[in-house]
Amino acid sequence: MTDSPFTGLVLGIESSCDETGVALVEVRAGATPMLLAHALHSQIDMHQAYGGVVPELASRDHIRRVLPLTQSVLTQAQRDLAQVDVVAYTRGPGLAGALLVGAGVACALGAALGKPVLGVHHLEGHLLSPFLSADPPEFPFIALLVSGGHTQLMRVDGVGRYDILGETIDDAAGEAFDKSAKLMGLPYPGGPWLAQLAEQGDSAAFKLPRPLLHSGNLDFSFAGLKTAVLTQAKKLGSDLPLRKADLAASTQAAIVEVLCAKSLAALDETGLQRLVVAGGVGANRQLRSQLDAACARRGVRVHYPELHLCTDNGAMIAMAAAMRLAAGVAQADTAYAFDVKPRWALASALAA
Ligand code: KG4
Ligand code: ZN
């Protein structure tokens, strides 16, 4: 006898880095799980003074925020805690102390309510976040996952059925944005600032490398680009402030060109007709417009998460848990002895 598919309410908690996110998703039989409410607190202002995330401050702030956010989500959704069927949390990858807050709170809530818990892989959250949009994708598709720490192209055939086709061999695209922004003197996190500055610049002003563009495979490399930006910034010397927008636009153009070219190559290689873009860099307007234009020419559909759900949030964690439970590829459990996985490859999470 097979168990009937999961239906019910999933509370999701995200605390892997500098955003505390909580959300409530409802799973109904035969339908895409639905987001009932979500709440988010970003720590960006707190970390900005230090030019990057301070892990100890991040953990302490997650502790302060997580329960009020949970209360706010329940109030918005007009549900109470006792109605929650599963408590999901980000188990990794991320900052160990920050992850421990979400895991600890989720397991304590589960134990207090007598409800099972489920640890979720942060990248699977990003990957499935486009299912939170009004126009969700259908399987199979190519996914371009571009977060602060990861750059991967995957073939996605269903929930839990992910084949990595290519990934970065050094820095992630988000890191390339952030590190280039930092050496231009822009605030943390640099990606959105660099993108904003780039709008006033000339993307052809500086010739920057397009690493691995013609490598013949689907891997990426962005460390050399960052070095080239540094060299260019040094060459400009005291002229840097005047040419910053041009350098930002040239840097963005190099990153976007490589991401687009490799995404198109992945579509060609697999013959798939659908592309999903997820992760913080997926919020980049230039990336979106270039991908939209190139895919429209090929009759390929592109799906993105809603703009405010591109960066870290609780909705994607609740959604990933809900989809795993609904598809029967994961089961929540009542062993509340939790651990976290600061370094965790998606492939090994799925094999577990
Ligand atoms: O997915 P995410 O919130 O966190 C991780 O899981 O890492 O991604 C954060 C990354 C940062 O590198 C940030 O600078 C970048 O996404 N980012 C952007 C934009 N918005 C966020 N990069 C370029 N353009 C943007 N508009
Ligand atoms: Zn993330």
Residue with CA at minimum distance from ligand 1 atom 21: 280
27/333 Cα distance (integer angstroms) = 17
Q: Are 89 and 106 in contact (CB under 8 A)?
A: yes
Which residue of 177, 196, 290 sits with most ligand 1 atoms within 8 Å of its CB, as the best mutation to test the pocket?
177
Ligand nearest to the CA of residue 191, numbered in listed order: 1
Which residue of 40, 199, 281 sits with most ligand 1 atoms within 8 Å of its CB, as the best mutation to test the pocket?
281
Could you tell me the pLDDT band of residue 56, with boundaries at 50, 70 and 90?
A: very high
Per-residue pLDDT of 88-124, as tens digits, reads 999 999 999 999 999 999 999 999 999 999 999 999 9
Provide the residue count of the chain: 352
Q: 């003197």: which residue's tokens?
A: 185
189 lines ligand 1 (CB under 6 A): yes
Per-residue pLDDT of 266-290, as tens digits, reads 999 999 999 999 999 999 999 999 9
- For residue 4, the model assigns a pLDDT of 80
Per-residue pLDDT of 223-270, as tens digits, reads 999 999 999 999 999 999 999 999 999 999 999 999 999 999 999 999
Please choose, from the candidates 8, 14, 3, the residue with its C-alpha nearest in 3D space to the C-alpha of residue 38. Answer: 14
Ligand nearest to the CA of residue 309, numbered in listed order: 1
What are the tokens at 19? 């955003």
Q: Which residues contact 16 (CB under 8 A, 6 or more apart)?
A: 90, 92, 93, 94, 95, 98, 99, 102, 122, 312
Residue 33 preceded by cis peptide, ω within 30: no
Q: Which helix (H) or strand (E) holds 25?
A: strand 19-27
Q: How far is the CA of 147 from the centre of ligand 1 (A)?
A: 6
Residue 146 alpha carbon, nearest atom of ligand 1: 1
168/150 Cα distance (integer angstroms) = 7
**What pTM value is reported for the model?**
0.96
Per-residue pLDDT of 175-193, as tens digits, reads 999 999 999 999 999 999 9
Residue 126 alpha carbon, nearest atom of ligand 1: 1
Ligand nearest to the CA of residue 255, numbered in listed order: 1
Q: Which helix (H) or strand (E) holds 22?
A: strand 19-27
Q: Is 28 left (phi over 0), alpha (psi -120 to 50) or beta?
A: beta
280 lines ligand 1 (CB under 6 A): yes
- For residue 352, the model assigns a pLDDT of 60
Residue with CA at minimum distance from ligand 1 atom 23: 191
Per-residue pLDDT of 278-327, as tens digits, reads 999 999 999 999 999 999 999 999 999 999 999 999 999 999 999 999 99
Per-residue pLDDT of 111-167, as tens digits, reads 999 999 999 999 999 999 999 999 999 999 999 999 999 999 999 999 999 999 999
Could you tell me the pLDDT band of residue 348, with boundaries at 50, 70 and 90?
A: confident
247/244 Cα distance (integer angstroms) = 5
125 lines ligand 1 (CB under 6 A): no
Ligand nearest to the CA of residue 320, numbered in listed order: 2
174 lines ligand 1 (CB under 6 A): yes
21/41 Cα distance (integer angstroms) = 6
Grouping H, G, I as helix, E, B as strand and the rest as coil, residue 71 is helix
94 lines ligand 1 (CB under 6 A): no
Residue 3 has pLDDT above 90, yes or no: no
Residue 1 has pLDDT above 50, yes or no: no
151-158 and 141-146 beta bridge pairing = antiparallel
Grouping H, G, I as helix, E, B as strand and the rest as coil, residue 255 is helix
283 lines ligand 1 (CB under 6 A): yes
Q: Which residues contact 170 (CB under 8 A, 6 or more apart)?
A: 221, 222, 223
Percent of the chain with pLDDT over 70: 99
CB neighbourhood size of 99 (10 A): 29
Which residue of 90, 128, 146, 147 sits with most ligand 1 atoms within 8 Å of its CB, as the best mutation to test the pocket?
147
Grouping H, G, I as helix, E, B as strand and the rest as coil, residue 79 is coil
58/15 Cα distance (integer angstroms) = 9
Q: How far is the CA of 279 from the centre of ligand 1 (A)?
A: 7
